[in-house]
Amino acid sequence: MPDTLSILDNRTGKKYEIPIENDTIRAADLRQIKVSDDDFGMLSYDPALMNTASVKSHITYIDGDKGILEYRGYPIEQLAENSSSYSEIAYLLIVGQLPNQLQLEAWRADIQRHTFIHENIKKLTEGFRYDAHPMGTFISTIAALTTFYPEAKDIFNAETRMKQIHRLIGKATTIAAFTYCHSLGRPFVYPAGDLSYTGNFLNMMFKVGESRYDVDPVFERALTVLFILHADHEQNCSTNVMRSIGSSHVDPYSAVAGAAAALWGPLHGGANEAVIHMLEEIGSVTNVPSIINDVKAGKRKLMGFGHRVYKNYDPRAKVIKKLADQVFAVTGRNRKLDIALELERIALEDEYFIKRKLYPNVDFYSGLIYEAMGFRMNFFPVLFAIPRIAGWLAHWQEHILDQEQKITRPRQVYLGLRGQTWQPIGKR
Ligand code: CMC
C-alpha cells in the first residue's frame, strides 16, 4: 500500500496524492489544491493547534491515552525514582543522554559557577514593590539578563549557547530566591557551592541571616522529584512560545522570559496556585459535593483536573501523590489535603468526569506539597518555571538548529471587512 493520502476536491473534480510521513501530511502539500490558478491554495485551519505537529523533536515523548511520559526515551517514573539530582535531568534533556560521573560533575560545576548574579540584578530586584507577584518579578528579571550578556545573541556559536544555558539554569534559583527574600524584607542569601541544586535553592529561600539552616532531606528530595517532573512536557503552550520567539533568532533570555509569561496563566503553570485558591474557597470537606455540582452545571472548572493530552491519567500526578504522603508524614496533614482527597474521590466516580476523561493533573497536588514545605502560594508558578527552563532550552536549541525550521509565521482565515474607504473623523 502506498504511503499517500488521496484527496478528491469535489469543487473541481481534481484528485491529489499527498505523501504521508510519520503519520502526518505536510500542510504545505495542501497548497496545490486550488480552484483556479490565482487561488492561494488550501490551508488547514487549526485553532489552538489541536491537531498540528509544527516540529520534529527528539526530546520528550508523551502518549496521552496510555499515560506515558518519557524524557529522551526514559520513563518519567524511572527518572523520578532513581535520579538523585535535577542537574542530571537538565543534562539529559539538553545534551540528549544521561551523563557519566565526570560529565555530571563538570555540568554541575558549570551551573554552580553561574548561580551568582551581578549585584545590579540584586538592585533590580529591590526596585520591585514588596508585594509584587513573584512571577512578575521573575519574568522581568530573567528578561533583564539579556542586558548583562549581550554576547547571548550569538546563538549559532555552540560555546556561547552553552554558556547561556548554564547561566539561565544557574541563575534561575538565585533570582527566584532573591525575589522571595525581597517580598519578605529578608536579607538575600548567596548561593552555596557545596549544596545540590535544590538544596542550595532551599537554603537561599529559607536561611535567615547568619543562623544555621539545615536543609530537610525529605524536602530536598521532594523538590528534586518535583523539579524532575516539571522539567519538560513537549509542545505545551510555553514551549511553543519558546520555540516561536526563538525562531526569530533573538537571545535565549528574551525567549525564556516570554515562555515564562506563557506559563504563568491559570490554564497552564498558574494552575497549582489556582488549586490552592479553590481549596481555600471550598473550605471544608462537606462543601465538596456542591462544588462538584457547580462544575457539572458548567459554572466553574475544577482546577488541577483535565489535560489537553492525558486522557487516561497524568503519570506525573501519580508520582506526586506518593511524594505528598512522604512530605505530609513530616509536616502533618492539613485541611486542604483532606478536601483535595475528597474532591478527587468524588470526581473520579462521577459520570461527568469519567465521560470527559478528567483526572488530576500534575498541579493538583504539587501546590499542596509546596505549601506544606513553606512556600507561599503566589510563588508556586515560579517553582514550575525554574525546572521548566531546562526543557525550554532543550527545545530552543533543537529548534534553532533544525534546518527545516524558519521564523514561525502561521496563516489566518481572514473574515473581516475589505476595501473600506477612509473617512475624515467628522464624517464617521
Ligand atoms: N473542570 C471541569 N470540566 C473540565 C475541566 C476541569 N478542569 N477541564 C475540562 N473540562 C471539561 C470541559 O468543560 C469540556 O466539557 P464539554 O465537553 O462539556 O464542553 C471537556 O471537559 C473538554 O475540555 P476542553 O476544554 O476541551 O479541554 P482542553 O484540552 O481544551 O483543556 C485544560 C485542557 C488543562 C486547559 C483544561 O482541562 C483545564 O482548564 N483544566 C484546569 C486548569 C489546569 O489544571 N491546568 C493545568 C494543566 S497541567 C499543567 C500544565 O502542563 O500546564
> What sign does the CA torsion over 221, 398, 254, 262 have?
negative
Kindly tell me if the per-residue pLDDT of 334 is higher than 90.
no
- Sheet strand arrangement including 60-63: 60-63, 68-71, 74-75
Query: Residue 33 — pLDDT band, cuts 50, 70, 90?
Result: very high
Mutate to test the pocket of ligand 1, among 65, 234, 312, 358 (most ligand atoms within 8 A of CB): 358
Query: Residue 152 — pLDDT band, cuts 50, 70, 90?
Result: very high
The predicted model gives 174-178 an average pLDDT of: 98
For residue 306, which atom of ligand 1 is closest to its CA?
Answer: 37
Q: For the chain, what is the mean pLDDT?
A: 94
Kindly tell me if the per-residue pLDDT of 355 is higher than 90.
yes
For residue 308, which atom of ligand 1 is closest to its CA?
Answer: 29
Percent of the chain past pLDDT 70, that is, above it, reads: 100
Ligand 1 pocket by C-beta < 6 Å: which residues? Answer: 233, 236, 267-269, 271, 295, 301-308, 356, 358, 361-363
For residue 263, which atom of ligand 1 is closest to its CA?
Answer: 52
Contact 255, 139 (CB under 8 A): no
Residue 75, burial from CB neighbour count under 10 angstroms (0-12, 13-18, 19+):
middle
Kindly tell me if the per-residue pLDDT of 386 is higher than 80.
yes
- Ligand 1, atom 12: closest residue by C-alpha: 356
The model's pTM is: 0.92
- Ligand 1, atom 50: closest residue by C-alpha: 268
C-alpha gyration radius of the chain: 24
Which residue has better confidence, 269 or 114?
114
The predicted model gives 27-44 an average pLDDT of: 96
Query: Residue 226 — pLDDT band, cuts 50, 70, 90?
Result: very high
Percent of the chain past pLDDT 90, that is, above it, reads: 84
Kindly tell me if the per-residue pLDDT of 105 is higher than 90.
yes
User: What is the CA(267)–ligand 1 centre distance, in A?
Assistant: 8
Kindly tell me if the per-residue pLDDT of 268 is higher than 90.
no
- Ligand 1, atom 8: closest residue by C-alpha: 306
Kindly tell me if the per-residue pLDDT of 44 is higher than 90.
yes
What integer pLDDT is reported at residue 209 of this predicted model?
Answer: 74
> What sign does the CA torsion over 225, 360, 328, 78 have?
negative
What integer pLDDT is reported at residue 409 of this predicted model?
Answer: 96
Architecture of domain 60-263+379-400: Orthogonal Bundle (1.10)
Query: Residue 189 — pLDDT band, cuts 50, 70, 90?
Result: very high
The predicted model gives 51-74 an average pLDDT of: 96
Q: Which residues of the chain form CATH 1.10.230.10?
A: 271-372
Q: Any idea which fold 271-372 has?
A: Cytochrome p450-Terp; domain 2 (1.10.230)
What cell numbers appear for 289 in the block? Answer: 459535593
User: What is the CA(384)–ligand 1 centre distance, in A?
Assistant: 19
Kindly tell me if the per-residue pLDDT of 414 is higher than 80.
yes
What integer pLDDT is reported at residue 18 of this predicted model?
Answer: 97
The predicted model gives 97-119 an average pLDDT of: 97
The predicted model gives 66-88 an average pLDDT of: 96
The highest-confidence range among 210-224, 324-338, 413-427, by mean pLDDT, is 413-427
Query: Residue 46 — pLDDT band, cuts 50, 70, 90?
Result: very high
For 3, 26, 58, 234, the CA distances from 388, given in Å and listed in that order, are 37, 30, 17, 11
Q: Which residues of the chain form CATH 1.10.580.10?
A: 60-263+379-400
The predicted model gives 331-359 an average pLDDT of: 90
| Lowest mean pLDDT segment, chosen from 105-119, 152-166, 314-328 | 314-328
Dist CA 132 CA 130 (whole Å): 6
Catalytic residue annotation? 268, 307, 363
Contact 18, 25 (CB under 8 A): yes
Q: How far apart are the first and last CA of the chain?
A: 62
